[in-house]
């Protein structure tokens, strides 16, 4: 396809598009011919406040660059708000072709100190929100027998991270939701995929830099431009990706990874049935060499970005 027409006339909703990765998605989609609904509640990273001006600013940027876009200030964590976003897309542009679930907040805290409110706030935005948005779009996708869901997940959930039990649980749950959507909607030619981004953005700008290890990690992250994520998202929104569904990708600077999904890696059986003693004496010693360590994302991706 020619540049500027990869998603020509596709109507795409991008949540959390008032800055960072979401803004890059909106600009890239607009440049490639899409009609973009730029959603952003305008909150702080911990979910406080509200200001639709951020969404309007990005929509104006898309239009100034020659694209088409409108702003939306509804909350993804609200069922009515989710339906309003889809309704606005259909009323403004006549249809909805793609949903990118990108909106996010952080309430980082070690598990043993995490409050119920901190847990619920993050689950609402990162897991309930994508369900609400995706479910609101589903009848339209079914009726037109086409559509694409793109969900932003995280290696904090796929691999692990400290102090993010709420975020990690939501993001791994979102990966499972994406797979279920892909399976349930396949008969209607609707796709669902995930992207785990590595990029310096407002959402991770508050990472501590007190130790040498933390400083080195932040220095690596700052090399990863958020705009590097957008090409994969544009591709997944396009008809060129019609046979790509149920996958989990990661993007880190100029690297694209296809992430593994849960599969058995070792098995043991016994004709007599297991007892606690035989589990201890036979099963665990055989499986122990294949145990996963308590790795964090940076332990697995321990080389400099390309």
Catalytic residues: 167
Count of C-beta atoms within a 10 Å radius of residue 187: 9
Distance CA 64, CA 237 (A): 22
158 Cβ partners below 8 Å, 6+ apart?
Answer: 171, 172, 175, 196, 248, 250, 259
Query: 């011919």: which residue's tokens?
Result: 33
Angular region, 108: left φ>0, alpha ψ -120 to 50, beta rest: beta
Distance CA 236, CA 192 (A): 9
Number of H-type helices and E-type strands within the chain: 12, 8
Distance CA 65, CA 112 (A): 48
- Taking a C-beta distance cutoff of 8 angstroms, is the pair 41, 82 a contact? no
Distance CA 60, CA 67 (A): 9
Angular region, 76: left φ>0, alpha ψ -120 to 50, beta rest: alpha
18 Cβ partners below 8 Å, 6+ apart?
Answer: 38, 40, 42, 54, 55, 57, 58
- Across the strands, what pairs with 248? 194
């Amino acid at each position: 396809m020619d540049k500027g027409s990869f998603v020509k006339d596709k109507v795409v909703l991008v949540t959390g598009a008032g800055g960072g990765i979401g803004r890059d998605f909106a600009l890239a989609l607009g440049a490639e011919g899409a009609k973009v609904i730029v959603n952003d509640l305008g909150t702080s990273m911990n979910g406080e406040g509200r200001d639709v001006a951020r969404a309007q600013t990005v929509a104006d940027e898309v239009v100034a660059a020659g694209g088409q876009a409108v702003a939306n200030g509804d909350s993804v964590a609200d069922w009515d708000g989710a339906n309003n976003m889809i309704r606005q897309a259909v009323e403004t542009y006549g249809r909805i072709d793609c949903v990118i679930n990108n909106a996010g907040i952080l309430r980082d805290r070690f598990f043993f100190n995490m409050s119920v409110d901190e847990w619920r706030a993050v689950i609402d935005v990162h897991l309930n929100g994508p369900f609400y948005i995706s479910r609101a779009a589903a009848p339209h996708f079914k009726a037109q027998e086409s559509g694409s869901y793109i969900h932003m997940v995280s290696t904090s959930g796929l691999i692990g991270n400290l102090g993010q039990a709420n975020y990690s649980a939501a993001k791994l749950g979102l990966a499972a939701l994406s797979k279920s959507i892909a399976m349930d909607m396949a008969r209607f030619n609707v796709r669902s995929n995930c992207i785990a981004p590595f990029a310096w953005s407002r959402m991770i700008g508050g990472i501590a830099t007190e130790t040498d290890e933390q400083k080195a990690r932040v220095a690596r992250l700052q090399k990863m431009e958020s705009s590097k994520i957008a090409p994969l998202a544009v591709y997944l929104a396009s008809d060129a990706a019609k046979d790509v569904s149920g996958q989990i990708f990661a993007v880190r600077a100029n690297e694209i990874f296809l992430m593994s999904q849960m599969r058995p890696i070792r098995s043991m059986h016994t004709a007599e049935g297991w007892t606690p003693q035989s589990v201890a004496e036979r099963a665990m010693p055989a499986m122990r060499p294949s145990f996963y360590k308590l790795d964090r994302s940076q332990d697995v991706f321990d080389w400099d970005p390309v």
